[in-house]
Structure 1
Amino acid sequence: MSDWQKHILGKLTLRQKIAQMISVRALSHFVSSDSESFASLSRLVSDVGIGGVTFFQGTVPGQAFYVNQLQSLADIPLLVAQDAENGIGMRLTDATILPHMMAIGATGDPLNAYEASKIIAAESNVLGVHHIFAPVADVNTDPDNPIINTRSFGSDPERVASFVVESVRGLQDSNVIATVKHFPGHGDTAIDTHLNLATLEFDRSRLDEVELVPFRAAFEAGVRSCMVGHLSVPCIDPTGLPASLSRPIVTGLLRNELGYDGLIVTDALDMKAITNTYGAGEAAVMAVEAGVDMLLLVADEVQALDAIEQAVDSGRTSEQWIDASVARILREKEWCGLNRQPEVSIADVFSVVANTDHLSRAVSLASAGICSMDGLDIQAVGDSYDQMIVLIKDDVCSGSGEIFTRELSSAAPASYVIYPESTSSDIDALVKASGEYDRVVVAVFLSVRSYSGSISFPPMILAAITKLAADSRNIVVLFGSPYVYALFDAGCPCIATCSTSPASEIAAAEFLIRGGKCPGSLPVTLQRV
């Protein structure tokens, strides 16, 4: 332990130590200094002394401003975190959005994961973000997985491991803490843990052969942080406790058996997989008892602090455990340089975030991951055809497809949109209209969305896709989950981007305009239903 770490740890009271173990939610949309939301967050930083802040939705200028404001209020620098798996732009409206991890996996080259992570790290550094909750180390083997899916690099454990390692290197080579998640593996579940507890219904040998492979590789590569998921794993803990609250899983498997000494964080403790069963205080105590270092997004910070303090006072848990966790947190803060410079330069933000180089590289990465679902070459979408675009979208409020339509507007000026809420009359009108064109480009958007509980289309929409895909002159482009391909019959060429990012829309349009052989390869296995 360094002199700085010893000095900080030595001056903290028990309650202040516990506060260092809590990271709270923050938004970076502008609010005035006298607003209740900012006042509440300020009190948690200055009065309670919480150890970290996790930023979600907002803007680039807003986040840079609030990071500086909050760091100026903190007696001990805050560990600022962000869940930015495919770029800071997935949280901030004006930052770079990269292709999803499955699209990076589809490129076949793990160095592309390194490149993507370097972009994330560059934008994180200038925004004062030190702790990124990525990469996803889950092996997505369940096609119906509603919450991992395209967030995973693929379905092959060794291939996923190689991409995870390079992603970790890309972040940490730039002094940003990488976090592998969701230990011990969330890829073979059909339940979104934002809604309920998921259970891994298989034996230990399967866990070793599939789920743990990328995590072991990341640990060997020196990943500094690991997020434990809200997953029941009976083969390790027969009580059925969530992994995030389970001592046999966190301390027994992760710490002792796998020898991991990095920073262990929970998944968000305000998710229903936890709150459906446990109160904020009890969940916090159980996480500490399990051996977790940092508690993310507890449902009630004061309840959590009170409960952990009472657990130590009563002898239920040990202050030595608290000290060990705080020592790891301080170690990471010092590794990031927070003991020297916690605030950010607005000028650096302006020159780095979403610069032309980052945006161009995002499109290049997306282009390299475009893959054929049927092995067919794609005939270029040219001006010599009378063409239309059909957007089939999983969310009526989504802007998906707007960029794709714009990029193809000269070749296919007509467009038609179908949503899950569309009626049979809407679909009949679409099918009839499509017959008037030489070719129809069918763009299907199917995204992972927290709290949705599923990732699919109604049967009527799948039937419409089948009708449009039956014409060999047409082209189907899958944005997001490629698994939907197994749910309809295709008589025409079909390509997949494995992402719904803006870069993927641009890359797909550019590819259709030039045509040819797809450069990527599908990183998951499909089984036709």
Structure 2
Amino acid sequence: MKARLAIASVLVAVLSATLAPLPVRASAPPAPAGEHGWVTSTLRHMSLEQKVGQLFATYVYGADATEPSAADRAANRAAFGVETPAEVVEEYHLGGVCYFSWSHNLDSPRQIATLSNGLQRAALGDGRKGRVPLLISTDQEQGVVLRMPPPAAQFPGAMALGAGRSPQAARTAAEITGRELRAVGIRQPYAPIADVNVDPANPVIGVRSFGSDPALVADLTAAQVDGFQDGAGVTAVAKHFPGHGDTDNDSHTDLPVINHTRQEWERIDAPPFRRAIRAGVESIMTAHIVVPALDPSGDPATLSPRILTGVLRGELGFRGVIVTDALNMAAVRQRYGDERVPVLALKAGADQLLMPPDLRLARDAVLRAVATGELSERRIDESVRRILTLKYRQGLTRSPLVDVDAAVRTVGAPEHLRAVTRVTDGTLTAVRNDDGLLPLRPADRSVLVTGWNTAAFAPIETVAQGFTARGARATARPATLPSDAVIAATAAEAAGHDLTVVLVNKAWDTTVTDPRGSQQRLVAALLATGRPVVVVAVRDPYDIAHLPGVRTYLASYSYTRAAMDTLVRALHGELSPRGRLPVTIPAADGGVPYPYGHGLTW
């Protein structure tokens, strides 16, 4: 049974009373004459094919718009029938492109900015009327979901910011992230997460959420909307409406059902979206989830007129762009075929259709729906008008291209990296320190750093280097999802060290992430040596409920270099942990040993 977490609203109310209120902006301010004139004139000169193209945003393969690698040419040909990213944009009159590392779009600031310029030139062509600049996007949530590689600023993610409890820090993270994205031509970061994570077994949201208290999530969501839009001039995207926080299914692979009553939805899920709309959020992303209390039909929210048009537009008053979550996810494809999904999403009230599994099929299905009268061209115009309005307000009609040299100077600027350190330092949470092991006393010690690792961030190596820099004899021994033999060898090695630091990542999830429970068994073997062990959860803080016997435990919520640097300094007493749990950690067998707001310091 899911653990429904208690909401500690008193703590948030006390904190909020000490903070200046965030500015509130109208969701849809009156359009200035220039905007109205450009949008209306552009729409009038667009063909139906151009209008329908504006509704779609998808990935393209390649680091360069016109000269991708041979492998990327082949991938584009297989997916889209043409070879280059520029040709994909031209062939389908795309309204948007979404960047990913796996599609080879994200390497360096210079490369990304150059790619963006090339794609914009393809979209604009010879400048004839009806040609429209692209809205380029990516999932830059920070923390465990980020796309821009170093030197880009890598801030802590949402749950870490929730632990820090600072709307100003959340705003700073969004503003600097947005400025770096804008510098390379990305104007639509798919953030912030407005989901309230009330289920510790949630496999898809977890640390991507600010926490389990709707008031805290609402505060930090509004702060990030302000940082992205007013601070950086990019479009914030609050997701995933109507709220993906109370499910133990992953919508990438299954269709989750949220069984909140209407009253529970109003109390738990709705507040962050209401605050985002009050803050002027320009875009909201849908969730592929079924919410019977809002729509008993069984359709996912992405395809539900009752939820998108009735609740989001009608009740909450949202007037911006509704973007679907990716249409290649299993949850939205289970009930209807790929040809029907984009049509049904538009009928439900969506504007921007993200990543259909077959772009040509999806495009042709929408055109056919207009031809048969299932969709009117007026309905298409409604969504295109919203998308054009957003592009105008982004300044894309005036300055679609970016300064590549300025992008190189902006991304990873020293002041940005200093801000990363400041923000991260306020997020680390000390959960247990039963033996008073921390902070570590000065000593000539040998240290084993082991457990979960990833080559992209190398947290094991970062922690070991931090100990070495402070005079310890540190050994980095990655043991990600270790075999029995590796567990035995690691425990034997730990017995010969004065201290072991072990990193764990979703050790609670023995269904998908770690089906053999190898992380839990590794920690048990290390504890059995009788030597001091510090356990650090580098993702979900819930792991401690599944690690009996652990007496020293910290939650960093992410494994970036900044997070690991903060950890090492805290272990040595160079800073005091200030984070407080933004969620309740229930015991595996019931009870609440670590309540919302818990956090130790020294």
Instruction: Letter of the 1:512 partner, please give it.
Output: L
- 2:269 corresponds to 1:211: yes
Contact kept, 8 Å, 1:270 with 1:297, in 2: the verdict is yes
Instruction: Letter of the 1:225 partner, please give it.
Output: S
Offset of 1:192 from its aligned partner? 1.4
Once the two structures are superposed, what CA deviation does each residue of 1:175-226 show, in whole Å capped at 9, x if it has no partner?
Answer: 1110000001111111111112111122111111101111111111111100
Q: Which runs of 4+ in 1 moved over 6 A?
A: 394-398
Change (3 A) 1:279 1:115: same
Q: In the alignment, which of 159, 165, 171 is matched to residue 102 of structure 1? A: 159
- 2:566 corresponds to 1:510: no
Instruction: Letter of the 2:37 partner, please give it.
Output: D
- 2:48 corresponds to 1:14: yes
Q: Which residue does the alignment assign to 1:423?
A: 483
Q: Which residue does the alignment assign to 1:283?
A: 341
Change (3 A) 1:324 1:447: farther
Q: In the alignment, which of 203, 215, 240 is matched to residue 182 of structure 1? A: 240
Contact kept, 8 Å, 1:100 with 1:501, in 2: the verdict is no
Q: Which deviates further from its counterpart, 325-334 or 511-520?
A: 511-520
Q: Which residue does the alignment assign to 1:78?
A: 134
Offset of 1:32 from its aligned partner? 6.0
Q: In the alignment, which of 475, 482, 486 is matched to residue 414 of structure 1? A: 475
Q: Which residue does the alignment assign to 1:499?
A: 558
Q: Which residue does the alignment assign to 2:405?
A: 347
Q: Which residue does the alignment assign to 2:278?
A: 220
Contact kept, 8 Å, 1:473 with 1:492, in 2: the verdict is no
Instruction: Letter of the 1:318 partner, please give it.
Output: S
Q: Which residue does the alignment assign to 1:434?
A: 494
Change (3 A) 1:96 1:453: farther
Contact kept, 8 Å, 2:460 with 2:477, in 1: the verdict is no
Offset of 1:298 from its aligned partner? 1.2
Offset of 1:460 from its aligned partner? 4.1
Contact kept, 8 Å, 2:462 with 2:561, in 1: the verdict is yes
TM-score for the superposition, normalised by structure 2: 0.82
Q: Which residue does the alignment assign to 2:446?
A: 387
Q: Which residue does the alignment assign to 1:54?
A: 98
Contact kept, 8 Å, 2:449 with 2:464, in 1: the verdict is no
SS of residue matched to 1:53: strand
SS of residue matched to 1:414: strand
Offset of 1:89 from its aligned partner? 9.1
Contact kept, 8 Å, 1:400 with 1:445, in 2: the verdict is no
Q: Which residue does the alignment assign to 1:248?
A: 306
Change (3 A) 1:30 1:20: closer
Q: Map of 1:31-70 to 2, 5 A cutoff?
A: 33=67, 36=73, 37=76, 39-57=83-101, 58-59=106-107, 60-70=109-119
Change (3 A) 1:119 1:205: same
SS of residue matched to 2:504: strand
SS of residue matched to 2:478: strand
Change (3 A) 1:447 1:431: closer
Offset of 1:14 from its aligned partner? 1.8
TM-score for the superposition, normalised by structure 1: 0.93
RMSD (Å), alpha carbons: 2.5
Offset of 1:40 from its aligned partner? 4.2
Once the two structures are superposed, what CA deviation does each residue of 1:69-118 show, in whole Å capped at 9, x if it has no partner?
Answer: 11111121111111101189921323222111111111111111101001
Q: Map of 1:484-495 to 2, 5 A cutoff?
A: 484-495=543-554
Offset of 1:439 from its aligned partner? 2.1
Separation in 1, partners of 2:176, 2:511: 31
Offset of 1:302 from its aligned partner? 1.6
SS of residue matched to 2:339: helix
Contact kept, 8 Å, 2:452 with 2:505, in 1: the verdict is yes
Q: Map of 1:303-452 to 2, 5 A cutoff?
A: 303-374=361-432, 379-381=438-440, 384-393=443-452, 399-409=458-468, 410-420=471-481, 422-446=482-506
Change (3 A) 1:51 1:273: same
SS of residue matched to 2:491: helix
Offset of 1:151 from its aligned partner? 0.7
Once the two structures are superposed, what CA deviation does each residue of 1:382-401 show, in whole Å capped at 9, x if it has no partner?
Answer: 55142322321176887342
Separation in 2, partners of 1:413, 1:319: 66
> Which consecutive unaligned segments of at least 5 residues does structure 2 have?
1-30, 77-81, 124-130, 589-602
Instruction: Letter of the 1:255 partner, please give it.
Output: R
- 2:262 corresponds to 1:262: no
Contact kept, 8 Å, 1:146 with 1:448, in 2: the verdict is no
Change (3 A) 1:121 1:447: farther
Once the two structures are superposed, what CA deviation does each residue of 1:277-336 show, in whole Å capped at 9, x if it has no partner?
Answer: 433321110111101010011112221121111112212122221111111001100000
Separation in 1, partners of 2:391, 2:144: 20
Contact kept, 8 Å, 1:145 with 1:455, in 2: the verdict is no
Instruction: Letter of the 2:57 partner, please give it.
Output: S
Separation in 1, partners of 2:52, 2:381: 9
Separation in 2, partners of 1:44, 1:147: 31
Offset of 1:411 from its aligned partner? 2.1
Separation in 1, partners of 2:145, 2:485: 37
Contact kept, 8 Å, 1:150 with 1:448, in 2: the verdict is no
Change (3 A) 1:44 1:429: closer
Change (3 A) 1:104 1:261: same
Q: Which residue does the alignment assign to 1:137?
A: 194
- 2:587 corresponds to 1:528: yes
- Percentage of matched positions with identical amino acids: 32
Separation in 1, partners of 2:508, 2:100: 17
Q: Which residue does the alignment assign to 2:7?
A: none
Once the two structures are superposed, what CA deviation does each residue of 1:430-470 show, in whole Å capped at 9, x if it has no partner?
Answer: 22332222222222234999xx9834563343133134357
> Which consecutive unaligned segments of at least 5 residues does structure 1 have?
none
Instruction: Letter of the 1:93 partner, please give it.
Output: P
Q: Which deviates further from its counterpart, 99-108 or 329-338?
A: 99-108
Offset of 1:47 from its aligned partner? 3.3
Change (3 A) 1:412 1:490: farther
SS of residue matched to 2:40: helix
Separation in 1, partners of 2:65, 2:117: 15
Separation in 2, partners of 1:385, 1:200: 53
Contact kept, 8 Å, 2:191 with 2:239, in 1: the verdict is yes
Q: Which deviates further from its counterpart, 226-235 or 29-38?
A: 29-38
Q: In the alignment, which of 467, 477, 487 is matched to residue 536 of structure 2? A: 477
Separation in 1, partners of 2:159, 2:143: 14
Change (3 A) 1:346 1:178: same
Change (3 A) 1:33 1:220: same
